[in-house]
Amino acid sequence: MAIANKIASHISKSSWIRKMFEEGERLRQEFGVDNVHDFTLGNPDVEPPEAFRRELMTLAGQPLPGMHRYMNNAGYAETRTAVAEKLARESGLGVTADQVIMTCGAGGALNVVLKTILNPGEEVIILAPYFVEYKFYIDNHGGVPVEVWTDRTTFQLDIEAIEKALTPKTRAILICSPNNPTGVIYPEENLRQLGELVKKVHQRNGHLIYVISDEPYARIAYDGKQVPNIFPLVESSIIVTSHSKDLALPGERIGYLAANPRMDTVQQFMEGAIFSNRVLGFVNAPALMQRLVAKLQNSSVDIASYQAKRDLLCSSLSAMGFEMVMPDGAFYLFPKSPLTDDVDFVKLAQKHHILLVPGAGFGAPGFFRIAYCVDQGVIERSLPAWSSLAKEAGLRG
């Protein structure tokens, strides 16, 4: 084989979204774009905020000397300060630029963190349903993913189950709120309990367990809900995030990681993470984007339009008989599959020209994911197809 066995095996295990994409292309060619309802990809359909374009034009019109050169591997001080000020405001803690590294998206940040903290064979707890790339990122750095389910009806943290899964090899717990794929936000009280759990283990035997909070959807929250800042709640926490979703810039690869200033070992962690950012080949986050996002730390895309899409889909699908947890944020729905086998259900949906991802792709068979970061017209046009799909799957329709 021309490629490593492990990569070939990972490709075959992660091919759901790719398979759906290929099937979508085939259906689009055969039936036309407007007759295929594609809910597979978490690629924002909205444009970045107007302020982004304005700043981009200003920067292009008045270029700064040396603005395309290498910089400190952690990123520009100006950008890290803007991020730190925002985190300090949200957490009430003295976060400084020294605790922030600009990264190539949340994906880049996760790889930097995992490379920095993992010794071979150490375990990272991931919470099902989870973002499937987590497993591959953990494997990139010699770690072992350990799957623990969230509560199967609410998708909220199951602290007891997490506690049971801890071993002397546990190095980190990876959480995501607002969650991909379920859209739930973990409330402050549950995050505090998680913080108390890892603190108890640390006090008992000096075993440091990091809580990595992956939060690229933190600014996409509905009904006035706030996503609690993790720093005051979990001492050993690291935030990883990006502007892929909140500023609709996924192609620009810009995000950051930030370490809790209350961690005793924060300085050593940051030294390690800056080194990892360099030797993973990222070197630094894209220079131009760093300049721009420094000015956009309090901006976001139009959240109301995502909320309107959530409301339309949730009310329409519930009326047809689909069961789901109402998401508090992000732009995904994760309903129960009406057929026992979620893969069979997704195949049936294809017959109705609706493209979905089975829950099995998120470590959660029995469910399916709808990404509703699509034009409102796509949702409206898809409703008759959803209705006939529901009927064929034994629901009201």
Residues that bind ligand PLP (CB under 6 A): 42, 105-107, 131, 176, 180, 214, 216, 242, 244, 250, 255
Closest distance of CB 97 from ligand PLP, Å:
21
Q: How far is the CB of 242 from ligand PLP (least distance, A)?
A: 3
CB–CB of 390/322 below 8 Å? yes
Half-sphere exposure of 49 (CA within 13 A, CB side): 19
| Choice between 140 and 388, CB closer to ligand PLP | 140
Nearest to 362 by CA among 101, 205, 115, 179: 179
Nearer to ligand PLP, 296 or 320 (CB): 296
CA–CA distances in Å: residue 149 to residues 73, 125, 370? 37, 10, 20
Closest distance of CB 157 from ligand PLP, Å: 16
Which residue's CB is nearer to ligand PLP, number 197 or number 220?
220
CB of residue 131 to ligand PLP, shortest distance in Å: 4
Burial label for 307, CB within 10 Å (0-12, 13-18, 19+), is middle
> In the bound complex, what is the minimum distance in angstroms from residue 64's beta carbon to ligand PLP?
26
Judged by beta carbon, residue 284 or residue 387, the one nearer ligand PLP is: 284
Six-digit token string for 94: 């003295």
**Helix H or strand E encompassing 252:** none
Concatenate the DSSP letters of all residues of 142-209 into one string.
T-EEEEEE--TTT----HHHHHHH--TTEEEEEEESS-TTT-----HHHHHHHHHHHHHHHHHH----
Instruction: State the Cα–Cα distance between residues 198 and 383, nearest whole angstrom.
Output: 45
Nearer to ligand PLP, 195 or 255 (CB): 255
Decide whether 97 or 176 has the Cβ nearer to ligand PLP: 176
Rounded to a whole number of angstroms, the minimum distance from the CB of residue 176 to ligand PLP is: 5
CB 371 within 8 A of CB 40: yes
What 3-state class would DSSP assign to 127? strand
Nearest distance from residue 46's CB to ligand PLP, in Å?
A: 15
Other residues' Cβ atoms within 10 Å of the Cβ of residue 52: 22
- The residue among 216 and 286 lying less far from ligand PLP, judged by its C-beta, is 216
Nearer to ligand PLP, 217 or 269 (CB): 217
For strands 237-242 and 123-128, give the pairing.
Answer: unpaired
Task: Kindly state the smallest distance separating residue 303's Cβ from ligand PLP, in Å.
Answer: 17
Q: How far is the CB of 382 from ligand PLP (least distance, A)?
A: 22
Nearer to ligand PLP, 276 or 387 (CB): 276
Residue with tokens 């936000």: 185
Q: For helices 5-13 and 133-140, what crossing angle results, to 10°?
A: 160
Residue with tokens 């976060």: 95
Residue 211, SS3? strand
Decide: helix, strand or coil at residue 357.
strand
